[in-house]
Amino acid sequence: MGDDLYAMQIDGQRCKGCGRCIEGCPVNAIQLQSGKAQILRRRCVDCGDCIRMCPNQARAFNADTLATLSLYPYSIALLPPSLEVFLDTECFSDEISFEDLQDVFSNMGFSEVFRVAEAAEVVGFIIEQHVLRKLCARPLFSSSCPAVLKLIRMRFPGLLKHVAPVLSPMEVAARLAKERAAEKTGLSPEKIGAFFVSPCPAKAAEARDPIMTTRSAVDRVIGVNLVYRDIITGLSRKAVVNRRNEAEGTVATGTGTGCSAGDRPLTTSMTVSGIHNVIRLLGEMEGGRFVRTDFVELLACPGGCPEGPLNSRKPFASISDLGGLIQKYRVKQRFHDHEHLLDIYRRGCFASAAPILPAPAEVADPDQSVHAGVGT
Ligand code: SF4
Ligand code: SF4
């Protein structure tokens, strides 16, 4: 496994060896060596907490750049629901349409845009069917946050049977988008590049070294921070034009969105966010608690993906507002009717390729780490 598979990197020039990240890393994956922070690759779960904590911006996200667009005759930008929640609520409300967003990505060089919210609806339905038909261990965990999956593999392998045996919304989106683009253009799938616009390093790690499948359909991952300025500038111009059109009598259509866990309520479910809270809950589950809960969505970031580390310095929806926002957007748009979703489920589409195996964490050197996190 080459170093480029890893999503997190440390910029040795910027690191001052202050140790702030070492104290905050929830899994004790950072050590000081020769006065510089070093990440233990097989302990790190890519939660991105050290990006938030470093006062010297010495944490780098090993992402792809827009230059890689030229490698593909046809390219698709996969937009996560977290980006839509932000754009639709914090910045532009109903002043922009999805077509406006498509135009902005087209100006960056993409051939088309695909909404991951559509895939999240499919994944949510499959999970619901597993729960309703009692085909799985109880409670079932969502498989959408790769940082949580890594954590379970390393620290809580006895709970792996609780992970929903379905691909993540990002992975399902890439497959749906490529299939449709191949039909539309007649191009072979390898000529179509799927680019995920990511709120976090964990998604880049998932695409490069997938846990739920042998090979990811996501070809490239670009950080949302890389395209943020282009999006805001492009949409600001669109909003001005739309306002003018509306004043003149032309109505702009609204932008819909979705959420990471699908939009159909399960009997008893809960969402736990923040890596420290997730660790605490998994510890309690190992002790036999929560057996009456059907489904648990586990998200490494406090407040979920809209608070992903690559988003966190932006004016995203505040954590306290997030539950209400997600609820609001869950019911805003349906992409598939019930019969179509049932057909997808019955055909076993998007099931994970193989059981997830434990991946014991690398042992940290106690002489070189200064740890104040929840556990090791
Ligand atoms: S586990 Fe999280 S905080 Fe620790 S090194 Fe990895 S990304 Fe940084
Ligand atoms: S909660 Fe979302 S943004 Fe945060 S690490 Fe998990 S998948 Fe990434």
Helices within 109-155 (DSSP H only): 116-132, 146-155
Structural contact between residues 80 and 123, judged by C-beta atoms closer than 8 angstroms = no
Pocket probe mutation, ligand 2, options 272, 305, 312, 314, max atoms within 8 Å of Cβ = 305
Instruction: Tell me, in angstroms, the distance from the centre of ligand 1 to residue 179's CA.
Output: 35
Alpha-carbon distances of 342 from 99, 124, 264, rounded to whole Å: 29, 12, 13
Could you report the per-residue pLDDT of 272-296, keeping only the tens digit for each? 999 999 999 999 999 888 878 889 9
Instruction: Kindly state the tokens that stand for 78.
Output: 């996969």
- The residue whose CA has the least distance to atom 1 of ligand 1 is 44
Instruction: Tell me, in angstroms, the distance from the centre of ligand 1 to residue 295's CA.
Output: 26
How confident is the model over 79-106, as a mean pLDDT? 76
The pLDDT value given to residue 318: 41
Helices within the chain (DSSP H only): 20-24, 49-53, 81-86, 98-108, 116-132, 146-155, 169-185, 201-208, 224-247, 275-286, 319-330, 338-346
Amino acid code (one letter) for 15: C
- Helices (H) then strands (E): counts for the chain: 12, 11
Q: Is the pLDDT at 322 greater than 70, yes or no?
A: no
Q: What angle do CA 196, 259, 95 make, to 5 degrees?
A: 85
Q: Is the CB of 115 under 6 A from ligand 2?
A: no
Structural contact between residues 156 and 360, judged by C-beta atoms closer than 8 angstroms = no
Instruction: Tell me, in angstroms, the distance from the centre of ligand 1 to residue 49's CA.
Output: 6
Greater pLDDT, 371 or 208? 208
Domains of the chain: 3-61 (3.30.70.20), 66-346 (no CATH)
ipTM of the complex: 0.95
